[in-house]
Structures are given as structure tokens and as C-alpha cells.
Amino acid sequence: MTVRTRIDPVLDARSRRVGIGAFNVVLLEHAEAIAQGAERAGLPVVFQISQNCVEYHGGLEPVAAATLSIVRAMSVPALVHLDHADDVDLVTEAVELGMDSVMFDGSKLPYDDNVALTRRMVELCHARGVRVEAELGEIGGKDGVHAPGVRTDPDDARRFVEHTGVDWLAVAVGTSHAMTAREAAVDTDLITRIAGAAAVPLVLHGSSGLDDEMLRAAVAAGMTKINISTHLNALFTDGVRAALDAEPERVDPRRWIGSARDSVAAEVERLLRLLTLRG
């Protein structure tokens, strides 16, 4: 049995009161762009592979193996994370493949069932040195608690962490998944209260909906792991469109995907720097 004992860059970021970017791998080029951006910034980063991504690629192993290979060559701290998994077998596979952390998403379950199954996943993962993120109530945009007006209660967050032993906790404070406009706002007072109640790093899902000022405010209030996917996907898609429009006769996909990858790398670098700014 292999048990990893690497330093947790998410926990380290929390201790330094800064944020750490967590970006989704959709295609191999996303993983390459995330690595390039983090290396240029000289800052830690989290690579995320969602259950949806696994379904798209027809399995976890190919995309996880490629991402892990890229991470092993990096000079800055990096984690490979399974995101939004509600499939116990997929969590087990992620552990076996050597991924660093998983998000077990039991948020659609009744509270007691969520606690019990999350605790079981924590025991499984911790035995192999794998960190666990969980979610108390479903994140919005996917019919969950990040719908307008719904928020995580600080006392509920504290109890959930105590009862499950999770390493990181995703909470609802005003964002929503899959936002294409950066116009959302977070409740910074609530973030501060939850951060004081739950003694683990807090995770902000749906961060694509926040502008730079709001991202910094969320981190200053107590958020640590900042998940950003849709914003980068929009940049990637815009880059592909622009390249195709500029050279419609080209048939080599590297020509147009390469420019999209470069756009994402530049934005990853910028966002990582932004999330570590204080004041």
C-alpha cells in the first residue's frame, strides 16, 4: 500500500491567508496550459478532473495518467484532484491511480446519509494519504444551494467537518456553477463566519462568476481553494474561434488549439498571482 505524505498546498495557502487556484482539465491542452501558467507564476496550483470529464473521455485513467505525468515534471507544488464525484467506485479508482485529493459530492443526499457516506470516503482516502473535499448542500447552477438567497450556515459547516473529518469544505456564499458573466457577488461577512467556525480550508465553487475584485474579497474574507473552469473554457473557445477565422484553410488542429492553450496559460498565471495578493 502506497501512502503519500506530501505537504498540502491548500492547507499552506490557508495558513498564509492567500488563495490557490483550482482549474479544470477538460482536454490535454488544458493540463498543459495550467502547468505553464503555474510555472510562470511560480505558484502552487490544483488540477481538477471532474466526473463529467471522466465520462467524456470514457474513463478516468487516460486523463488522470496524462495529468499526473505533467505534474511530476513541474517545479512548483501541484495537486491532481477528482472533482464532483458521487460515484464511490470512481473515488476508489482515483485513489488507486495516485491522485492527490478527491471531492466526494454527497450533497444531493439527506444530511445524515451525506455525513455517513462522506465519513466512509474520508476513511478510505486518508488510509492512502489522499485528501478529501466535501460539500454541505449542493452548489448552485446544478439545482443546489448556490441558487440566489441560499447560503451555508456556519454552525452546520462546523458540525459537518467534525462529523466527517474532511480536509476541505465547499460552501455556498453567493456563487453559481457555469456562469459565463463575471457579475456575481459573495457574502464576505458570511465567509468570515464560516471560516471561523470550520477549522479547514474553504472551497469556492462557481468562481468564474466573480470579477477580480470579488475574487480578492472572497480570499481576504477566508476562502482558500478557488475553483475556476467556465471562465477558462470561454477563453479557450474564443481562442479556437479566432484562429479558425484567421486561417480557415488550415487543417492542422495544433494551429488553432495551440493559440487557445496559450490564452488559458496566460490567464492561469494572472489568476494565480491575483489570488495571492494581500490587502
- What is the rounded average pLDDT of the residues 143-166? 80
Highest mean pLDDT among 108-122, 128-142, 164-178: 108-122
Residue 272 amino acid letter: L
> What integer pLDDT is reported at residue 146 of this predicted model?
43
Whether the Cβ atoms of residue 226 and residue 207 lie closer than 8 Å to each other: yes
Give tens-digit pLDDT for 21-72.
Answer: 999 999 999 999 999 999 999 999 999 999 999 999 999 999 999 999 999 9
> pTM score, two decimals?
0.91
Write down the catalytic residue from 8, 12, 83, 153: 83
Domain ranges for the chain: 18-275
Give tens-digit pLDDT for 69-115.
Answer: 999 999 999 999 999 999 999 999 999 999 999 999 888 888 899 99
- What is the rounded average pLDDT of the residues 121-132? 97
Active site residue 155: no
178: pLDDT confidence band, cut at 50, 70 and 90?
A: very low
> What string of DSSP letters covers 38-100?
HHHHT--EEEEEEHHHHHHHTSHHHHHHHHHHHHHT-SS-EEEEEEEE--HHHHHHHHHHT-S
- What is the rounded average pLDDT of the residues 224-247? 92
To the nearest whole number, what is the mean pLDDT of the chain? 89
18-275 has CATH 3.20.20.70 classification: yes
> What integer pLDDT is reported at residue 18 of this predicted model?
97
Strand partners, 225: 20, 203
